[in-house]
Each structure stands twice: as structure tokens, then as C-alpha cells.
Structure 1
Amino acid sequence: MIKRIKKLFGRYKNFEQILITPYRSYATSHHLYILGRVLDNKPLEIKQEQNFLNTIKNTYKQFDSFEIPQAEVEVKLPDSTSFFTVTNEEGYFTIDVNTKENLCNYTNSNGWLNYELFYRGKMYPQTVLLENPFRGELLIPDSKAEYGVISDIDDTILHTGVTSFLKWRLLKNSLFTNAYKRIPLKGASALYQKLAAGTQNSGRNPVFYLSNSPWNLYEYLKLFLDHHQFPKGPILLRNFRTPFDRSLKPEKPHKQKEIINILKTYPQLKFILIGDSGEHDASIYTDIAAQYPDKILAIYLRSVKHKGRMQRVQSILDNFKTTPVLLVNTSLEAEEHARSQGYIN
């Protein structure tokens, strides 16, 4: 609280601790796409048996961030190759570069590449590095993968209540409920495990997770996915925009931009898109399938209980014939279709 007051009055100048949070991302054998953020914050601690008060405190901490702009960061790969970057005004950094070295030589059996991050910027006498080095990981899909899966999170595998009146259920579920106590939609974890396994039962098929949630909820969502045994995969969220944010808005919606980037990164892979009918997934997914008709195997949209939105979604799908699109009420319906098409055993 004292630090927040100092920042409000322009007296917060010398940061106390350095936390580098790398986000699970993806790569190819010769291309890196690393995302992360540098903050003057302690790591978030979400405990399975914490009380409601501590849950509220964690929620506050997720959004009470003290970003470190213009922070110099070094990323070091297992072959000792290094790349340098500088954070923007919100503390975010991106490394999007080609490499000469074949990165596949350094992945583990599941295709994950581990790397190290070092803070190389200015230090003050009171500044503490919370780790040294910080560690990140990114996925390089196996060349023998049958296809990939790109999935929304909100109301697709995790009930958020985005269609509720004034979105009060969304606020309650996302901000006031412990991540350990959030319940995935029935059968979702088993479905994704089967899609990741494919017909070869190898677990090689990559799964990418998208959400319009802000990066502030990254640790919360990562914990939820891991705790409920969803296949490990990159998690792609978006920057949190306030009403006072004067920066230019992206030309394309977050999900559309990220999906197209994934499709271009893996031209040899086809994909299954999974979302819900509550927001804009139907229009975004069908637009992408029309633009890349040879890349999308199927689209699964989980039905939500909202009459008006369902009618709008149905109007989009009625004349769309490019790619099979299923409105499903349960994970089992999607599983049955995937099996009938030879995507899973």
C-alpha cells in the first residue's frame, strides 16, 4: 500500500525487487517467440486451502502490479546463445527472432525447450533479484504431430459466466474464487488429452490456449490448467487496457491475431479450433477457416444458455460450408465427432 501511495504522488522511483515472469509460448526449430513481463512484485502464492480473505488478497495482488519499463533482459538458450530485449512502458517484452541453431536439439521428450532469463538493467542498493536466473519454457511441436488444437479458455473449458447479467458471475468466478476450486466443464480435460494423444497415442499434438483475460491472470489460469491435468501448452492472453489507455488499439481482435500467427508459424500443421458461442468465437473462427480453408479440420463451439446469442451464432453458421462446425452441449459430442473423423481413437 505504501508503494502504491508513493507511485500515486510520483515518489516511487527506485524499485525494491525484480520479478521476471516468462509466459509459456511456442517456437519452431529455428524461430523463437518469447513473451514475458518484468515487475517490482513478489511472486503470486495461490494455496489450495486458502481462505476467502487470502483469495481476495491474491486477486488484488494480480492487478496491483508495479511494472518496470525500459528494463534490459537477456534470454540465454541451452547452447549459450543469448538474445537481448527491453521492456515497454507496461513492463512487457517480446523476442521474435530466427536462430541458426536447431532448437530441437535441446528440447525434452515432450518438446519443451527450457531457457534462462537474466535482468541486466539498473540496480539500486535496496533492489533484490527474486531469482537468478529466472527460467522459462516454450513448446516446439513434434514433426510427427498429426494436427494441433487451438482452444479458447473462457466458457470453453472453464465456466466463467460471461453471458450473465452485468457479467456478475464472470467477476465472481474470475476474481473471488480460488483457482484450485474452479471446476472445469465436464469432460473437457479428458477430451483435450485425447486430442493431444491423437490416433498415435503419443501426446505429440500441440494444444494452444487463448483467452481475452489479461496477462495479470496468467499464473491463475496456468495453475488451473495444470491442476486439472489439461495437456501442457502455450497460454496466450492479452494486455489489460484501462479506460485511460491512449495507446493504439490492435487492428485485429486478440484471438484472431494469435490464431493467424500460430497458423503461419506451423504451415505443415492443420488445426482443430475450439471455442464457445457466448462471445465472438463463431465469427472469428469461421472468418479464419474461410481465409485458411486447408488449415482448419473442424470447429467445435460449446453452446451457452443464452437465446439471443445462440440465434446470432446460428445465423453465422447456417450458410457456412467451408469447414465442419459443430455446436456441442457436452465434451462427449465433440469427442464422438473427432472419433468419427479419425482424429482420435
Structure 2
Amino acid sequence: MPSRLFIASRIEDRLNRLANRFLGRRGWQESIVAFTGYGTTEQLRVLARVVLRPSEDLGIVQAAQALMYRRGWRNFMNAAKPGAQVTVVIGETRIPVEADRGGYIDVRVRNPGLPAGWHTVTLEGAGGSSTLVNIQVIGDDVTFGIVSDIDDTILSTLLPRPFMAAWNSFILTEQARQAVPGMARLYQQLLGAHPGSPIIFISTGAWNTYPMIQRFAARHGIPQGAMLLTDWGPTQTGWFRSGTDHKRRSLRELARDLPNIRWLLVGDDGQHDPDLYAEFATLQPEHVRARAIRQLSPGEHTLAHGLPMEVESDQRWEPDIAPEVRAPDGDGLGEELAALCSPTQHDAQR
């Protein structure tokens, strides 16, 4: 790790400090944005972000309509509060934590006794703000879980072409976003067959879009689960973050945090999911149950890459286990996965 931040990060930090002073004088208030977390009976991963936001005086009906029809750019109307002091409150246990330079909180804390299931944890800010965070505690006997990409896997965004990505992220209204057919049904069936199993969403999308994605998932019946997104800003070593590295690191963290689980890895063939999943299945085969790749249509491939076909893989991984299935939608993937992910087949492989 370099001793001094990259110049872009230093510029970003200074702009954040100036913005915090200016917006504080303008009446913007501290707010904690909660992100769904996960954990075990031993530890919990708490995810959130502390930001400054303008106060809004909308009625209940107006607020609901604003959320449904708001343009995507409004998801980015906040300012990070670096170094904010926050207390994680779990029953009688109080754990002080500090936000990073982007206002993000990503900490692992000891589980003081929460049993398996869904729970709410309170986050209290030093400025008087507070929020509730949903956390799924995964039982020690759970050995199946789903890792899912978001873009073009559950939500049609036509990434990564820059113009289309900007259109979908900043201009398009939330109601206009389309779900990939059959994916909600597939996830509901899989999790119904494996009670207590988690679904974790990993994406290169920005954390700012988290509230929109969460509302989208709820509207379309996609099961609730933790989302591991990223920050589009500069890093400590460069101008841009690597989406591939983010996904690779997230998979390694899941293998470490939840060592008993063998994952069904679900993605699409529009970006790097096939290579990443094959790499992970090769390096850590004990953590992968199967791989499911949604096949984009020629039109979607053209918008994503300028080519009406899947981009050839740069690497050739040959995992010994973890079979891969492909289909254009959730229903097709479900047919291919019926035998691979059935509870009886799972028990036979343990």
C-alpha cells in the first residue's frame, strides 16, 4: 500500500471537505444509508454509508410517486461524510465504528447472540441520525447459497456501453427499468427448496444506486439479500476502480466469511462473469456448487460490445467440478439446474 494517496484521491478528499463545510452551512443534514448485511452465529458484516442530504418536505403520497418516477440521477444527489463516527447497536451491545474516506462503513463485528434468521441492527450517528440495518444471520447447518450478478442478470441495463449505462443510471425512470424474465421465479424456487440459504448480489454498479435496486427487486419479487456494490470514484492507486477485481475480491470474502456454503454462481455472458466464475471454481472448488450463465440475445450483445456475439474468453479455466449451464432466461436456467441444485443431490455431494 503506497504511503501517499493517489492524486485523484487527494483531490476527491479535498472536494469532500469543502462540500461538507458548504452544505453544512446550507442546512444539509447527516443521514445514514443502510445496506443489507449478512453474518453467521460468530460474526456480522455491517454495511452502510454516511452522507449529507438536503431536507425534503414531501407528503407520503408525493414521496411514493417521487420514488417510482424519479430519474436515476437523483440517486447521486448526496455528499459523502468521510470519517463519520457511528455506533452499531445490537441489543445491549454498542460498538463504535468509523466511516472511511468515502463515508462507507464495512465492518465485521462479533455476533452477540443473534440466532439464524433475519434481524435488524441499529446504527446511530454522532450527529443524531439513526437507521435500521437488515442483516441475515446464516445458520451453521446451511450449505447452499446463491451469488447473483445484477446488470443484465436480473435487471436489463445493457451495460457496459458508456452511453447506455449513463442513460439507464441517470436518465431512465425507475418504473421503466425491465426485469430479466424468469429470474425472480428461479431464485424463489431455489431458496424455497433450501430454507435459510442466502442470496448475495455482487455487481460493479455504484452504491448510490442501491436504494433503486432494492426497490426494483421488491417490485419484481426478487428475494432479499445483501448487495456488494462498489464506488465509482478514484482509488488510492489510480483514477478508476476495477469491476473485475471487485467481483473477484467479493467472492473471496464470501468464501472466507461463509466457509460452509457451496455457491450457485449466476451471471451473464455480456461481461466477465463466465471467466470470473470459472476462475473461482478452479481455485476454490469446495465453495462452488454450479455456475449458471444467462445468455444475452444478439441485440443485447451488440449494445454491450458492438458485436452480435459473446466476446471470446481471454483465459481457459478447467474446473474439476462445478458444472456450468446456460440459457437465455431464468426459466431456461431453472430447467438446467433442477437436478444440479436439488436438496437430494446436494445431500448426496456432501
TM-score range, shorter chain: 0.7 to 0.9
- Please state how far the C-alpha of 1:18 moved relative to its aligned partner: 1.5
Query: Which residue is 1:126 aligned to?
Result: none
- 2:44–2:137 Cα contact (<8 Å) kept: no
Change (3 A) 1:157 1:35: same
- Do structure 1's residue 83 and structure 2's residue 95 form an aligned pair? yes
Q: Counterpart of 2:70 in structure 1: which amino acid?
A: T
- Decide which of 152, 177, 184 is 2:172's aligned counterpart: 177
How many Å separate the matches in 1 of 2:55 and 2:88? 20
Q: Counterpart of 1:162 in structure 2: which amino acid?
A: L
How many Å separate the matches in 1 of 2:141 and 2:79? 43
Q: What SS does structure 1 have at the residue aligned with 2:179?
A: coil
- Do structure 1's residue 159 and structure 2's residue 165 form an aligned pair? no
Query: Which residue is 1:68 aligned to?
Result: 81
- Decide which of 67, 70, 84 is 1:55's aligned counterpart: 70
- 1:214–1:240 Cα contact (<8 Å) kept: yes
* Worse-superposed segment, 208-217 or 297-306: 297-306
Query: Which residue is 1:197 aligned to?
Result: 192
Q: What SS does structure 1 have at the residue aligned with 2:33?
A: strand
* Worse-superposed segment, 205-214 or 38-47: 38-47
How many Å separate the matches in 1 of 2:106 and 2:96? 10
How many Å separate the matches in 1 of 2:157 and 2:132? 30
Superposed counterparts of 1:220-239, under 5 Å: 220-239=212-231
How many Å separate the matches in 1 of 2:39 and 2:277? 23
- Do structure 1's residue 248 and structure 2's residue 260 form an aligned pair? no
How many Å separate the matches in 2 of 1:73 and 1:38? 9
Q: Deviations over 1:290-328 (max 9, x none)?
A: 111122111111112335761514x75685554211222
Q: What SS does structure 2 have at the residue aligned with 1:294?
A: helix
- Please state how far the C-alpha of 1:146 moved relative to its aligned partner: 4.6
Query: Which residue is 2:118 aligned to?
Result: 112
Change (3 A) 1:311 1:215: closer
Change (3 A) 1:43 1:295: farther
- 1:149–1:207 Cα contact (<8 Å) kept: yes
Query: How many residues get paired?
Result: 313
Over aligned residues, Cα RMSD in angstroms?
3.0
* Worse-superposed segment, 324-333 or 169-178: 169-178
How many Å separate the matches in 1 of 2:47 and 2:225? 14
- Do structure 1's residue 102 and structure 2's residue 113 form an aligned pair? yes
- 1:48–1:178 Cα contact (<8 Å) kept: no
Q: Counterpart of 1:216 in structure 2: which amino acid?
A: N
How many Å separate the matches in 1 of 2:317 and 2:89? 50
- Please state how far the C-alpha of 1:143 moved relative to its aligned partner: 3.6
- 2:295–2:326 Cα contact (<8 Å) kept: yes
Change (3 A) 1:293 1:172: same
How many Å separate the matches in 2 of 1:294 and 1:16? 49
- 2:279–2:317 Cα contact (<8 Å) kept: no
Q: Counterpart of 1:117 in structure 2: which amino acid?
A: L
Change (3 A) 1:90 1:228: same
Unaligned runs of 5+ in 1: 122-128
Query: Which residue is 1:124 aligned to?
Result: none
Unaligned runs of 5+ in 2: 1-14, 302-306, 345-350
Change (3 A) 1:48 1:76: closer
- 1:48–1:180 Cα contact (<8 Å) kept: no
* Worse-superposed segment, 214-223 or 301-310: 301-310
Q: What SS does structure 1 have at the residue aligned with 2:333?
A: helix
- 1:74–1:118 Cα contact (<8 Å) kept: yes
Q: Counterpart of 2:260 in structure 1: which amino acid?
A: Q
- Decide which of 255, 266, 271 is 1:274's aligned counterpart: 266
Q: Counterpart of 1:262 in structure 2: which amino acid?
A: L
- Decide which of 293, 296, 307 is 1:301's aligned counterpart: 293
- Please state how far the C-alpha of 1:205 moved relative to its aligned partner: 1.8
- Please state how far the C-alpha of 1:142 moved relative to its aligned partner: 3.1
Give aligned-pair identity as a percent. 22
Q: Counterpart of 2:237 in structure 1: which amino acid?
A: L
Q: What SS does structure 1 have at the residue aligned with 2:178?
A: coil
How many Å separate the matches in 1 of 2:99 and 2:318? 45
Query: Which residue is 2:200 aligned to?
Result: 208
Query: Which residue is 1:150 aligned to?
Result: 147
- Decide which of 210, 223, 248 is 1:218's aligned counterpart: 210
Q: What SS does structure 1 have at the residue aligned with 2:310?
A: helix
- Please state how far the C-alpha of 1:246 moved relative to its aligned partner: 5.4
- Please state how far the C-alpha of 1:265 moved relative to its aligned partner: 1.1
Superposed counterparts of 1:279-290, under 5 Å: 279-290=271-282
- 1:34–1:95 Cα contact (<8 Å) kept: yes
